Amino acid sequence: MLVLGISGGLELVHENIYGFETSGHDSACVLIKDGKVVFAIEEERLNRIKHTNKFPTQSLHFCLKKHGIKLQDIDLIAYYFAKHNFDLLVVAWVQGRSEFGPRALGNRSILADPRPEENKERINKMIKKREGYRPFAPSVLEEEVDEFFEVPPHQKQFPFMVFVVNVREEKRKLLGAVTHIDGTARIQTVSRETNEKYYDLIQSFKKFVGVPVLLNTSFNNNVEPIVDSVQDAVVCFLTTELDYLVVGEYLVKKKEVSWKNYLSLKISLPPPHISLHQVKKLDSDRKFNNFFCIGNSYDRNFQLGISSKVFRILMLANSEKTVESLLQEDGETDERKAQGILEEIMELWSQRLILLCP
Q: What is the pLDDT of residue 45?
A: 86
Pairwise CA distance, residues 28 & 43, whole Å: 5
Q: What is the pLDDT of residue 86?
A: 63
Is 216 in contact with 111 (CB distance < 8 Å)?
A: yes
Domain 85-253 superfamily per CATH: Carbamoyltransferase, C-terminal domain (3.90.870.20)
Q: First vs last Cα of the chain: how many Å apart?
A: 38
Q: What is the pLDDT of residue 14?
A: 37
Pairwise CA distance, residues 181 & 166, whole Å: 11
Burial of 75 (0-12, 13-18, 19+ CB in 10 A): exposed
List residues bridging with 78 in a β-sheet: 5
- Which residue type does 282 have? L
Per-residue pLDDT of the chain (358 residues; tens, 9 = 90+): 888 888 643 333 333 333 344 444 567 888 998 888 889 888 888 888 877 667 788 888 898 999 999 888 888 877 655 554 567 889 999 999 999 888 899 999 999 999 999 999 899 988 988 877 788 999 999 999 999 999 999 899 999 999 999 999 999 999 999 999 999 999 999 999 999 999 999 998 998 889 999 999 999 999 999 999 999 999 999 999 999 999 998 889 888 889 999 999 999 999 889 999 999 988 888 888 999 999 999 898 999 999 999 999 999 999 999 999 999 999 998 999 999 999 999 999 999 999 999 9
Q: Up-side HSE of residue 110: CA atoms within 13 Å toward CB?
A: 27
DSSP3 helix / strand / coil % (the chain, rounded to 5): 30, 25, 45
Q: Which residues contact 80 (CB under 8 A, 6 or more apart)?
A: 5, 6, 7, 8, 9, 10, 11, 19, 21
- Which residue type does 59 have? S
Query: Which CATH number, 3.90.930, 1.10.287, 2.115.10, 1.10.3470, labels domain 259-357?
Result: 3.90.930
Domain boundaries along the sequence of the chain: 2-80, 85-253, 259-357
Q: Which residues contact 7 (CB under 8 A, 6 or more apart)?
A: 27, 28, 53, 55, 56, 79, 80
Q: What is the pLDDT of residue 201?
A: 95
Pairwise CA distance, residues 358 & 344, whole Å: 18
Q: What is the pLDDT of residue 102?
A: 83
Is 346 in contact with 263 (CB distance < 8 Å)?
A: no
Q: What angle do CA 104, 113, 346 make, to 5 degrees?
A: 65
CA 335 to chain centre: 30
Query: Which CATH number, 3.40.190.80, 3.30.420.40, 3.30.1490.20, 3.30.450.270, labels domain 2-80?
Result: 3.30.420.40
What's 62's DSSP letter?
Answer: H
Is 186 in contact with 161 (CB distance < 8 Å)?
A: yes
Sheet with strand 274-282: strands edge to edge: 274-282, 288-296, 303-305
> Which of these, 76, 99, 106, lies nearest to 11 by C-alpha position?
76
Q: What's the predicted TM-score (pTM) here?
A: 0.81
- Which residue type does 155 have? Q
β-strand pairing of 76-79 with 2-7: parallel
Q: What is the pLDDT of residue 10?
A: 39
> Which of these, 271, 277, 272, lies nearest to 302 by C-alpha position?
277
